[in-house]
A = this chain, B = another copy of it.
Amino acid sequence: MEFKISSTKKQELTDITEEINEIVKNSEVKNGLCNVYVTHATAGIIINENYDPNICTDFLKAINKSIPEHNNYLHDKIDNNAGAHIKSAIIGPSETIPIKDFSLKLGTWQSVMVADFDGPKQRTVVVTIIKD
């Protein structure tokens, strides 16, 4: 299964928990694993709190302080998005989440989000479900 989402800014976290939960429910798999994967080298998947969306703002501020957008990166002469590639490499393109009783076994404060570091862009999310 796959679906597409679109970011609207250069850097943005998009909550896809509902989309993933819907796919899990429709799979009729009771127990197993759900892998959520973005097929891009300037985005990633994170799992964290989105009840207070300020956490997304804080996350982006902190990762940009840790990994500056520009710092004489060699790839910036070609595509000017090295900072987005580096953040994507660190965050990683996927997370694998347990399925229990036909649902994602997320904690109360865990949402699944696409982190786009080089938007605005349309991004493809691939969801793979494996039975226990």
Contacts and interface: CB of A to CB of B under 8 A. Distances in A.
Contacts of A85: 48-49, 55, 58-59
A15 to B, nearest CB: 13
A99 to B, nearest CB: 8
A58 B35 contact: no
Contact of A130 (B32, B89, B124): B32
A57 interface: yes
A89 B126 CA distance: 20
A41 B110 contact: yes
A82 B106 contact: no
A130 to B, nearest CB: 6
A8 interface: no
